[in-house]
Chain A
Amino acid sequence: MVGDPGPYLLLAAVLFVIGAFGVISRRGAITILMSIELMLNSANLALIAVSRFLPGDGGAGVPDGQVIGFLVLAIAAAEVAVGLAIVIAMFRLRESVDVDLARLLRW
């Protein structure tokens, strides 16, 4: 390691935990989706931070993490599109996006 990515990883971890808390505590499907996005983007921040501080390329870091960041962005977009489609389908059936109302499947 050239330099120390510690603070960035700390920030990423804090964002990740906030996102995870949002997923667990919220009931609106859209809010949960946003929390998941927050988690994915905190992971992106961590990826880019560590790739900047890794030894290599004369102290400029290795590009791996940044390239992966692109991939994660694109995949997250595809995931969110499918997720929103499912949420809209749910809304058309229920007139609500409250995940607590999704209770057909129990026991």
Chain B
Amino acid sequence: MPEFQHFAALPTLVPAAFGLVFLVFAPFIGSDKKWMWAFTTAAMGLTILIPAIILSKIGLYGDVLETAGVAGQYMVRTDRLALWLDILFGIAGLLALLVTPAYLERANSHRPEIYPLFLIAVSGMTAMVGSDHLVMIFVGLEVLSITLYVMCGLARERAVQVEAALKYFLLGAFSTSFLVFGLALILGATGRLDIPGIAGAVLGVGAGTLWNETLLLAGLALFLIAFAFKVGAVPFHFWVPDVYQGAPTPVTAFMAAGTKAAAFGVLLRVLYAGFSGAETIVDRWAPVIAGLAVATMVVGNVLALVQTRVKRLLAYSSVAHAGYLLLALVPATSGAHAGEIVGGPALLFYLFTYTFMTVGAFIVAALFQSDREDADHFAQFAGLWHRRPLLAAAMGVFLLSLTGIPPLGGFTGKYVIFLSVLDAGHPVLAAIMAIAAVIGAAYYLRVLMLMFIAQPEEDLAARLVTPGPARLALAVAVVATFVLGIAPFVLYDPLLTVMRAAAF
């Protein structure tokens, strides 16, 4: 096992350093900011490359928690789980960056700061998942969240964006205080905040080394509340539709994919590596996760039915998908893997497919941006097929994939989660998931029907411009959605062997 040691921090340091350097230049450049965009995109490419290189050095296959390198006494601990997710954050950031100039052009907003802020947000995400210490996770989460508050409200003169930023900020800060209080209680109960230390204390639940079990459970509960806020799980989802609708669409795309992946990466690591030791503890949090998952799937899908705006619809769809992902976290109750999170590989796989399809759908929505207040209203999408067949086809692929139609990535992702939930011995949960997915099909089909059957508005074609980078992003997303649907093993096999080997 190669120990890169200080190299381990590179996936976090590289985007942070580039982001800071570019940020210094932001106030001094004029409205022509093409080079700022080009440099940022190149740096984002580098942030995908670095974890990919480290991953190829330690090999794709193997224990997911095998360490590639440690820096600063567990504060930075880069393992396969972190590296896979680092690549995912880079992809989400890169796809969003590709469409950002086109969006800013149409929204008539000229603030070059938004480009380096993408990099800083990515560094926060990588810090979150690449650490074995709850404090580092907290700091990473704050770097990410504070950057996103700024990105949401960057166009100060637009009331909708400022409102979205205000709501996101107030609820985000509210959930942060839950996280800090949870950390205090966990520290009090176990005396440690590094995940191996917590795991050791949890193992000693019966042995009396744990000072206070109630305190530990209260701390875990507060921790879960904070992260339920961040992933937008029901009943902590109120901010999701408002913020997703109000934020600049590329930021929404980045937020929907990246934040979710980071938060689920942390949940997977903390629950699996930290709180799975003792059955008495697992029995307390497993039903909570299952309950959250069911509520999130059902409420998200049902509320999406009544939406009339594409961004809001995708926001509720994102809530519903948080439910599917939470379901993968429910540990097995019986069998050889009792008490373990068997859905780990399915969760990671679905995060990847979800990134491509949801970012793709938001990119299409971003191209519809204009000064009109109802830019993303369903009516605007009517008859897209007759005017822009390629764009309509791309959107069709993303929506069908989100629905879970066979040869697409969304289907394979839902299928592996479904199987892992059955594997874990929860047939009822699997059935609820299937029903929720069927309800979900209804609202995606509504948009599809509008796009392909209804007659278009007159000015539609004239308003829609798809510049080269945006086309590239859409092409990548479409291809990836197909590849993950037709040949899921390219990604799922490494993830699966990885986790099974680690007794996931």
A/B touching: CB–CB < 8 A: yes
Given A43-B177, A54-B191, A82-B146, answer yes or no on A23-B135 (Cβ-Cβ < 8 Å): no
Query: Can you show 14 pairs from A to B with CB atoms below 8 A apart?
Result: A12-B184, A16-B181, A44-B184, A46-B181, A47-B183, A47-B184, A54-B188, A75-B142, A78-B146, A82-B169, A104-B163, A105-B160, A105-B167, A107-B307
Residue B446 is within 8 A (CB to CB) of chain A in the complex:
no
Residue A10 is within 8 A (CB to CB) of chain B in the complex:
no
Cα-based distance from A54 to B201 in the complex (angstroms): 14
One digit per residue, 1 when the CB lies within 8 angstroms of any chain B CB and 0 when it does not, for chain A 38-78 equals: 01101110110111011110000010110010011001001
Given A46-B188, A75-B142, answer yes or no on A86-B211 (Cβ-Cβ < 8 Å): no
Query: Do B170 and A36 touch across chains, with their CB atoms under 8 A apart?
Result: yes
B374 shortest CB reach to chain A, Å = 12
Query: Do A40 and B187 touch across chains, with their CB atoms under 8 A apart?
Result: no
Residue A99 is within 8 A (CB to CB) of chain B in the complex:
yes
B193 cross-chain contacts in A, Cβ below 8 A: 64, 68
Shortest Cβ-Cβ A-B pairs, 10 listed: A50-B188, A39-B177, A46-B184, A43-B180, A43-B181, A105-B242, A47-B184, A89-B156, A102-B163, A36-B173
B170 cross-chain contacts in A, Cβ below 8 A: 23, 29, 32-33, 36, 83, 99
Cα-based distance from A13 to B383 in the complex (angstroms): 56
Cα-based distance from A5 to B135 in the complex (angstroms): 21
Select one of B163, B191, B241 contacting A62, CB under 8 A.
B191
Indicate the size class of the contact surface on chain A: 35 or more
Interface residues of B in 151-208 (CB under 8 A from A): 153, 156-157, 159-160, 162-167, 169-170, 173-174, 176-178, 180-181, 183-185, 187-188, 191, 193
New contact pairs (11) apart from A47-B180, A86-B162, A86-B169, CB-CB < 8 Å: A5-B188, A9-B188, A36-B173, A44-B184, A46-B181, A46-B185, A65-B187, A83-B173, A86-B149, A92-B156, A107-B306
Write the chain A residue with the least CB distance to B243. Answer: A105
Interface residues of B in 240-276 (CB under 8 A from A): 241-242, 245-246
B176 cross-chain contacts in A, Cβ below 8 A: 40, 79
B176 shortest CB reach to chain A, Å = 7
Cα-based distance from A106 to B245 in the complex (angstroms): 9
| Residues in B lying within 8 Å of A, measured CB to CB | 135, 138-139, 142, 145-146, 149-150, 153, 156-157, 159-160, 162-167, 169-170, 173-174, 176-178, 180-181, 183-185, 187-188, 191, 193, 211-212, 215, 241-242, 245-246, 306-307, 312
Cα-based distance from A107 to B313 in the complex (angstroms): 10
Query: Do B169 and A44 touch across chains, with their CB atoms under 8 A apart?
Result: no
B180 cross-chain contacts in A, Cβ below 8 A: 40, 43-44, 47, 72
Write the chain A residue with the least CB distance to B191. Answer: A54
Cα-based distance from A82 to B147 in the complex (angstroms): 9
Select one of B153, B165, B174, B184 contacting A36, CB under 8 A.
B174
B148 shortest CB reach to chain A, Å = 10
Query: Do A90 and B191 touch across chains, with their CB atoms under 8 A apart?
Result: no
Interface residues of A in 92-107 (CB under 8 A from B): 92-94, 99, 102, 104-107
Write the chain B residue with the least CB distance to A67. Answer: B135
Given A40-B176, A79-B176, A99-B170, answer yes or no on A65-B184 (Cβ-Cβ < 8 Å): yes
Cα-based distance from A8 to B37 in the complex (angstroms): 51
B277 shortest CB reach to chain A, Å = 20
Select one of A50, A65, A75, A93 contacting B159, CB under 8 A.
A93
B214 shortest CB reach to chain A, Å = 11
Query: Do A105 and B164 touch across chains, with their CB atoms under 8 A apart?
Result: yes
Query: Do A75 and B139 touch across chains, with their CB atoms under 8 A apart?
Result: yes
Query: Do B177 and A40 touch across chains, with their CB atoms under 8 A apart?
Result: yes
Write the chain B residue with the least CB distance to A42. Answer: B181
Query: Do A105 and B245 touch across chains, with their CB atoms under 8 A apart?
Result: yes
A78 shortest CB reach to chain B, Å = 6
B134 shortest CB reach to chain A, Å = 9
Write the chain A residue with the least CB distance to B306. Answer: A107
One digit per residue, 1 when the CB lies within 8 angstroms of any chain B CB and 0 when it does not, for chain A 9-32 equals: 100100010011001000001001
Cα-based distance from A89 to B157 in the complex (angstroms): 8
Write the chain B residue with the least CB distance to A38. Answer: B177
Query: Do B139 and A86 touch across chains, with their CB atoms under 8 A apart?
Result: no
Write the chain B residue with the least CB distance to A44. Answer: B180
A22 shortest CB reach to chain B, Å = 10
A77 shortest CB reach to chain B, Å = 11
B181 cross-chain contacts in A, Cβ below 8 A: 12, 16, 39, 42-43, 46
A24 shortest CB reach to chain B, Å = 9
B149 cross-chain contacts in A, Cβ below 8 A: 82-83, 86
Query: Do B174 and A39 touch across chains, with their CB atoms under 8 A apart?
Result: yes
Given A64-B193, A105-B246, answer yes or no on A93-B187 (Cβ-Cβ < 8 Å): no
Given A1-B211, A39-B177, answer yes or no on A86-B187 (Cβ-Cβ < 8 Å): no
B146 cross-chain contacts in A, Cβ below 8 A: 75, 78-79, 82
